């Protein structure tokens, strides 16, 4: 059996126990799992598709592929996609974890991921025995690189890559003969005024790649924008040749989003109103929590987009997590995301308005 690192969240158990001991209970801000209801139009679409007696298509229905293409054109400014260049996935994590295997990587090959990174990029490399290089500077990516992950907006730090940065990453990946994939699942949750009502830049943006998607993919999840984490609804788009190869593999493995989920995805992708409403909920929660976190002595770094505050007091991450656990607030240590995060903690916005208000009150009280 392949040896993998311990699951990071298991190490949070002692901190969770401390937070639960708070007289007014624990407020869990450690995991980015949506707490708001799945919009009714999406649930109704899924319910209408429950007579799913036949096997669904691994490639997705024609209606779903068209919805993905239309969404990329409308929300991301990507108009060069065709239906054969998109593919639904069972959420995005399974795709991230298994892509190195499907690309045929192995010993001697290198997977590049951001310096501060979602752990699953490295897990995917470990499953194939590949090497891992954590680094944001394309000039430092090794010649053995076969797969590059970029993550914009970033988890956990909320960093958004500019068009120029994305273009530079694509150019270097192509020099190396590597596939480059951008994990973009927080794209609809930008907090800067320049993204008001608009998504953050995609790696498939024509200003990044023109109409040439060779060796370039974007992966997306509807978990965050549409509260569909429990549906496992995601998709990948880009180079038609790579997508076709992945489709062939996924057919063999039976990796098929269920028919009701495919119908729900169509509804979600076709409606921007629920996304705007959810964004404004998070914007309000973020403003309230950010003010309290700063007042409690933390500095917020990055956090331009996404569902987290990337906070530091210039101390070891475990000390910050422990400090917050004493207030009954559970957060994730930045060390979960690599050595570069060892002095940060990730504070999630995915809590109810009441819980965000209670967390802010506890932080305010601690700063007096």
Decide if pLDDT at 212 tops 90: yes
Structure token pair of residue 320: 């910050």
Q: What's the number of CA atoms in the CB half-sphere (13 Å) around residue 72?
A: 29
- Whether cis (ω within 30° of 0) applies to the bond prior to 156 is yes
Decide if pLDDT at 7 tops 80: no
Residues 6+ apart with CB under 8 A from 38: 226, 227, 228, 230, 231
What pLDDT score does 198 carry? 79
The pLDDT tens digits for 228-286 are 999 999 999 999 999 999 999 999 999 999 999 999 999 999 999 999 999 999 999 99
The structural domains of the chain, ordered by start, are: 8-30+274-367 (3.90.1150.10), 51-271 (3.40.640.10)
What pLDDT score does 231 carry? 96
Taking alpha carbons only, the member of 156, 171, 172, 204 closest to residue 333 is 156
Cα–Cα distance, 43 to 267 (Å, whole number):
9
Cα–Cα distance, 119 to 338 (Å, whole number):
8
- Looking at the DSSP bridge assignments, the partners of residue 347 are 309
Taking alpha carbons only, the member of 213, 254, 258, 252 closest to residue 236 is 213
What's the predicted TM-score (pTM) here? Answer: 0.94
Segment 8-12 shows an average pLDDT of 80
Taking alpha carbons only, the member of 38, 37, 17 closest to residue 26 is 17
- Whether cis (ω within 30° of 0) applies to the bond prior to 153 is yes
The CA–CA distances, whole Å, from 91 to 61, 94, 97, 247 equal 17, 7, 11, 15
Cα–Cα distance, 248 to 235 (Å, whole number):
15
């Amino acid at each position: 059996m392949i040896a993998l690192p311990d699951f990071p969240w298991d190490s949070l158990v002692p901190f969770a126990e401390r937070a639960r001991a708070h007289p007014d209970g624990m407020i869990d801000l450690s995991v980015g799992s949506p707490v708001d209801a799945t919009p009714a139009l999406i649930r109704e679409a899924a319910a209408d598709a429950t007579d799913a007696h036949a096997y669904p298509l691994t490639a997705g229905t024609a209606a779903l592929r068209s919805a993905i293409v239309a969404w990329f054109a409308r929300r991301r400014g990507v108009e060069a996609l065709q239906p054969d260049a998109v593919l639904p996935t069972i959420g995005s994590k399974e795709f991230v974890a298994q892509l190195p295997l499907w690309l045929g990587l192995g010993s001697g090959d290198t997977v590049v991921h951001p310096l501060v990174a979602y752990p699953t990029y490295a897990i995917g490399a470990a499953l194939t025995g590949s090497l891992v290089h954590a680094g944001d500077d394309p000039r430092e990516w090794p010649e053995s690189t076969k797969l590059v992950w970029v993550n914009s907006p970033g988890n956990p730090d909320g960093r958004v890559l500019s068009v120029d940065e994305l273009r530079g990453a694509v150019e270097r990946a192509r020099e190396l003969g590597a596939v480059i994939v951008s994990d973009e699942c927080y794209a609809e949750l930008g907090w800067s005024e320049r993204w008001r009502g608009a998504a953050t830049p995609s790696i498939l943006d024509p200003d990044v790649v023109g109409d040439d998607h060779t060796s370039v993919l974007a992966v997306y999840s509807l978990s965050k924008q549409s509260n569909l984490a429990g549906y496992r609804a995601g998709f990948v788009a880009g180079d038609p040749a790579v997508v076709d190869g992945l489709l062939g593999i996924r057919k063999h493995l039976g990796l098929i989003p269920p028919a009701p989920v495919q119908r729900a995805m169509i509804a979600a992708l076709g409606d921007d109103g629920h996304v705007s409403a959810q964004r404004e909920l998070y914007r309000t929660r973020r403003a309230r929590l950010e003010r309290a976190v700063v007042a409690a002595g933390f500095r917020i770094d990055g956090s331009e987009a996404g569902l987290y505050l990337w906070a530091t007091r210039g101390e070891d991450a475990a000390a910050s997590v422990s400090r917050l656990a004493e207030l009954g607030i559970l957060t994730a240590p930045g060390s979960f995301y690599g050595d570069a995060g060892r002095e940060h903690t990730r504070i999630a916005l995915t809590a109810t308005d009441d819980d965000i208000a209670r967390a802010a009150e506890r932080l305010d009280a601690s700063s007096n």
